[in-house]
A = this chain, B = another copy of it.
Amino acid sequence: MNRQTLEKFYRLKLKKPLKSSAKRSLVVEYFMNRDRHFSVEELYNEIRKMNFKISYSTVYRTLNLLTKLGLARECIFKDGMLRFEPVHGPKHHDHLVCERCGKIIEFEEPKIEKLQEEVARRHKFLVDWHRMELYGLCAECRKKEKL
């Protein structure tokens, strides 16, 4: 998604003008290159490392904007810290989180999604989003555990 597309999209969705901005484009560009969840700090550091001057305010602001537009999604794990992930179409994935090394593995399990829908129906609940996280030890940390 390029700058013009984003601006058009924004105008349509939020019915407010949006001025073109190099800084925001920078954040959007780096955001688009991500395919997994990331912390704000991670994105901020990545942009900084490339020698672009930018502030946390702008990174937060842009990510919140992308979330309002439905292009990003917040995901808060057990540590309570805000993370974002790009929304690629309707396919949803869940997470395995290693409590020792912090590694996060994504997975999909359509059979679980089916059962979730069933639970929702049972409660007459209309689900628009869900999350599922399994916390424990990853394969590597289990190996180390045994030594």
Contact = CB atoms under 8 A, between A and B. Distances in A.
Interface in A34-51: none
Contact of A135 (B82, B105, B112, B127): B127
A123 B96 contact: yes
A109 B119 contact: yes
A120 B136 CA distance: 9
A126 B112 contact: no
Contacts of A132: 116, 130-133
Contacts of A120: 96, 134, 136
A130 B135 contact: yes
A99 to B, nearest CB: 7
Contacts of A138: 123-125
Q: Top 4 A-B pairs ranked by shortest CB distance?
A: A124-B139, A127-B136, A132-B132, A130-B134
